[in-house]
Structure 1
């Protein structure tokens, strides 16, 4: 290569380096003159659909990333000037395109909200959601997707979906609040995570962590076509929720139309159902000693109804199979279904609905059937082997029914003590207080085994016989039931013997 060519090459490289250096040096100047506060606010508003205000002056950084740092940023509804902002953040860091900045344009790639506060309201279906914007590119993209889905719900034309680039939104150390008596009440704190959505017609993911009701929670969600999902069409979706009290996951197809539905595989697990009930503030027998539960099922959910098919369930490591149906009426949700177990602790199961004994160290147990105010229940149970306290049962057929202040738990058939057992526990809420009815029919049983299990070995004859017990009484506490109950006790035994029978003690 000749010397003049070498010199020209060096000059070309030098000029290129000088241009790049001048461009980099000019970025803060360009940013300070063209990418001013109002221009950034306008672009953020154009995307979000909210009125965006930035109280602090933007600070521009060139290295290591070209970005604008904004302070005291609020996003509010255009039509509600007196309402508090939907979102406000102490700081927003926006990564910008350097080439677009030199042209005088604002192109975001990443927006990071630091210590944001998100205000939500309780919707008609009970969930807390932020106010929706009246416009913006995202809203318009969803409107277009809704039209595409309406044209062909079974197979929408994905080629007609908007392809506008979006990017990543990160949030750090935020919180979610709602208004209670005119003041902000915190629902979620320490909220951090990010949403990735490269373009409107591409896949999207969301991951977030936070603290809800004193427990750390983590949520992950993803969809290969979120725009179709938001537009009311059906799209694949995965969702997972993890916390110390419980975990949940879903993998299937979902639709967010007016006739919303979910269809896929769902899993739920909790090391202690009592802890879940207390954490969720369900108000269902919080003192009951309920153990672990896990559920894996095919789920089909439509508006107002959820069906669990081919359900695998484990209560305190006792596996079972069955089907459940949840429906949500105007008054109370209704739960119905059938479950079959190899082994089952009936005491633990029924404790989900009412305390069956005084809580340890808490004195006489209050009879609580508040569950009857919250749900209607019709559940059929069967178990090859079961326990009810110290009593061993086999071939059990049982039912639990709760409705309109009435709670009934029946064992319609079971084998025990060499014979057959039938029993019923009924709680009926009356204006004057809860009335409790207890029935037991033990036919052709071994009296000695029955007396030992019932703690009445001195009263029950050793021999084969039948025992019938019917007791009714007020149900304020368990002690009062047995102290004030009226009813009858009858027994008929064949040839046998009485062991140290004390007639005065029996009559007492």
Structure 2
């Protein structure tokens, strides 16, 4: 027979089970009668400071989590007479405390917003404004924290921060829209994430994913003292953004006071600079062919100026170092500084700041300089080795400038073709339209190397010399520029040779009095004492002022025009013999010329010139000796 103690234990356990069962059975009844939607709406409003409306009756679940599901929930500003919702959600799931429910109270820590919409106000300048309330526990907590910061900005008393328990807010399949008087436009879609803050004075974290400008984006924010940031104080923060076009991160401290300040390490990486610009739509830079780009540096400064120190920059796999300064207090952002690279593609770099000819693109494409109204740029650049298309350069010093309608890229000094090169390209918007200017000065260079790089296959001087090119014209598009350019071309070479000219074969073909292609007499090399060229360019047509090659026995000259349109040639020229004398100890005797005087006409095109002998007698050019 069971002992009295055993029987009492059985009755105690049975009573406990009955009590638990009764409690579970009572919760839905109590919840359905006391935890009504008005109480839940009141509690949500007490936290947010907004008017909360719930259309349907809460649906209460007991297992596995005590949860109230609300439908058609809206939060509006108390002062908004129109009652336009700031936040609305198709459904909100709130996890409740069963013990609090038994006493008729609402106590919840986690809220799940299903398909919410957050509405931001579109400002006149195109920006947006976050909604804010003038009441609510969150607002009052921020005000208390703000007072704590104001009492001692340098070392605020963190123990004085409010310690109200908060919890977590999860949002699923949400979106963010910007609202104006005319309409609303969607900024973010498919927004899913979670904001966790166990207590207002504890560490907080936000994770979210969404779609912005058609690309999936993931962001993470965490701080040990997020309330200090909301109150305008200073706190550490770790932030990251990940997407296909770009990834960025920041690890440091932010001061959200009147003189907002940042200090930390930042990094940005993009596999395609062009794609990043097209995606972010800043309207700042032209469509650039730059490939991958990365920047890692220490960033310090405030909202008006950021100093980017020890910047490690990589463009298309070419690493560089430098210091940059970003000013934000003017009408447009201004970026200045210096960058030094070991190797660099100059055309790719220049295309980031000036509307260069697109690779394999149409020369009829319009040259757009409107980006120069939205940024000021002043960069100084150096590179130990560089390329500009097929041209190899060394010890390069260059500058890139963009400001108020001007876009310019200048190579102030570089080693190339065995000599020194200076070059510049500028686009300057004038009332009459964009004007373009291109300059090249190549000094003490190897003519053969220069000709090969320039794609010159005919009559290339081999020797040391100087080349100068100046072109100016309307910059509507590249064809317009070249078809209407004005300027000059000059070249001077010393002792050397002219590649691609067999003088004996040339004289023989002219003696036959039949026209022939220059390719037919290009199998030799002509030694020369010097070569000189001067041409004036007017409206896209080059007028040869002087073109002369001097050999030990003759002088070869050309005159005429070379238009850009049609790539045609209309030149006349001649080969004149020099008078050679033989000297002895007592007399000087003329010697018969080694070259027969010959006149000829050069026609055809740049790529396929032909020669036609002239019957008329040879007349020395005005520049002849």
What's the CA shift string for 1:268-324, capped at 9, x where partnerless? 000000001111112355543121001110011302111110110100000000011
| Aligned-residue offset at 1:457 | 4.1
What's the CA shift string for 1:344-384, capped at 9, x where partnerless? 11111111123311454555232122221110000000000
Does 86-95 or 173-182 show the bigger shift? 173-182
What's the CA shift string for 1:15-66, capped at 9, x where partnerless? 1111111111111111111111110000000000111010111111111110
Q: Would you say 1:87 and 2:87 are equivalent positions?
A: yes
Question: Which residue in the other structure is 2:620 paired with?
Answer: none
Question: Which residue in the other structure is 2:135 paired with?
Answer: 135
Paired with 2:157 and 2:295, the residues of 1 have a C-alpha distance of 37
Question: Which residue in the other structure is 1:474 paired with?
Answer: 474
Question: Which residue in the other structure is 1:417 paired with?
Answer: 417
Paired with 2:284 and 2:220, the residues of 1 have a C-alpha distance of 29
Question: Which residue in the other structure is 1:389 paired with?
Answer: 389
Paired with 1:309 and 1:382, the residues of 2 have a C-alpha distance of 17
Q: Contact between 1:458 and 1:498, CA under 8 Å: does it hold in 2?
A: no
Paired with 1:391 and 1:431, the residues of 2 have a C-alpha distance of 36
Question: Which residue in the other structure is 1:498 paired with?
Answer: 498
Q: Would you say 1:267 and 2:287 are equivalent positions?
A: no
Paired with 2:121 and 2:393, the residues of 1 have a C-alpha distance of 50
What's the CA shift string for 1:144-174, capped at 9, x where partnerless? 1111111111111111111100001000000
Paired with 2:247 and 2:261, the residues of 1 have a C-alpha distance of 21
| Aligned-residue offset at 1:128 | 3.2
Q: 1:363 to 1:415 in 2, by over 3 A?
A: closer
| Total equivalences in the alignment | 508
| Aligned-residue offset at 1:497 | 1.9
Question: Which residue in the other structure is 1:26 paired with?
Answer: 26
Question: Which residue in the other structure is 1:71 paired with?
Answer: 71
Question: Which residue in the other structure is 1:187 paired with?
Answer: 187
Paired with 1:379 and 1:359, the residues of 2 have a C-alpha distance of 24
Paired with 1:259 and 1:90, the residues of 2 have a C-alpha distance of 40
1:6-155 equivalences under 5 Å are 6-122=6-122, 128-155=128-155
SS at match of 1:65: coil
Paired with 2:41 and 2:450, the residues of 1 have a C-alpha distance of 79
Paired with 2:217 and 2:402, the residues of 1 have a C-alpha distance of 32
Q: 1:238 to 1:408 in 2, by over 3 A?
A: same
Question: Which residue in the other structure is 1:452 paired with?
Answer: 452
Question: Which residue in the other structure is 2:486 paired with?
Answer: 486
SS at match of 1:438: strand
Q: Contact between 2:318 and 2:342, CA under 8 Å: does it hold in 1?
A: yes
SS at match of 1:162: coil
SS at match of 2:476: coil
Does 283-292 or 424-433 show the bigger shift? 283-292
Q: Contact between 2:286 and 2:353, CA under 8 Å: does it hold in 1?
A: no
Question: Which residue in the other structure is 1:208 paired with?
Answer: 208
Paired with 1:443 and 1:83, the residues of 2 have a C-alpha distance of 75
What's the CA shift string for 1:375-424, capped at 9, x where partnerless? 00000000000111111110000000111111111101000001000111
Paired with 2:365 and 2:220, the residues of 1 have a C-alpha distance of 41
Q: 1:361 to 1:315 in 2, by over 3 A?
A: closer
Q: 1:378 to 1:361 in 2, by over 3 A?
A: closer
Q: Contact between 2:354 and 2:408, CA under 8 Å: does it hold in 1?
A: no
SS at match of 1:86: strand
Greater RCO, CA 8 A, separation 6+: 1
Q: Would you say 1:332 and 2:332 are equivalent positions?
A: yes
Paired with 1:505 and 1:196, the residues of 2 have a C-alpha distance of 80
Paired with 2:329 and 2:469, the residues of 1 have a C-alpha distance of 38
Q: Contact between 2:399 and 2:409, CA under 8 Å: does it hold in 1?
A: yes
Question: Which residue in the other structure is 1:220 paired with?
Answer: 220
Q: Contact between 1:358 and 1:364, CA under 8 Å: does it hold in 2?
A: no
Paired with 1:191 and 1:16, the residues of 2 have a C-alpha distance of 46
| Aligned-residue offset at 1:329 | 2.8
1:433-448 equivalences under 5 Å are 433-448=433-448
What's the CA shift string for 1:464-491, capped at 9, x where partnerless? 0111111110011111211111011111
Question: Which residue in the other structure is 1:258 paired with?
Answer: 258
Paired with 2:264 and 2:284, the residues of 1 have a C-alpha distance of 29
Q: Contact between 2:357 and 2:363, CA under 8 Å: does it hold in 1?
A: no
RMSD (CA atoms)? 1.8
Paired with 1:43 and 1:147, the residues of 2 have a C-alpha distance of 25
Q: 1:162 to 1:375 in 2, by over 3 A?
A: same
Question: Which residue in the other structure is 2:374 paired with?
Answer: 374
Paired with 1:506 and 1:125, the residues of 2 have a C-alpha distance of 55
Paired with 2:348 and 2:88, the residues of 1 have a C-alpha distance of 47
Paired with 1:126 and 1:396, the residues of 2 have a C-alpha distance of 42
Question: Which residue in the other structure is 2:353 paired with?
Answer: 353
Q: Contact between 1:207 and 1:220, CA under 8 Å: does it hold in 2?
A: yes
SS at match of 1:468: strand
Paired with 2:466 and 2:359, the residues of 1 have a C-alpha distance of 32
1:237-248 equivalences under 5 Å are 237-248=237-248
What's the CA shift string for 1:189-233, capped at 9, x where partnerless? 000010000000000000000001110000000000111121111
Question: Which residue in the other structure is 2:157 paired with?
Answer: 157
TM-score under structure 2 normalisation?
0.79
Q: 1:127 to 1:297 in 2, by over 3 A?
A: farther
1:292-331 equivalences under 5 Å are 292-331=292-331
Paired with 1:388 and 1:361, the residues of 2 have a C-alpha distance of 17
Does 488-497 or 455-464 show the bigger shift? 455-464
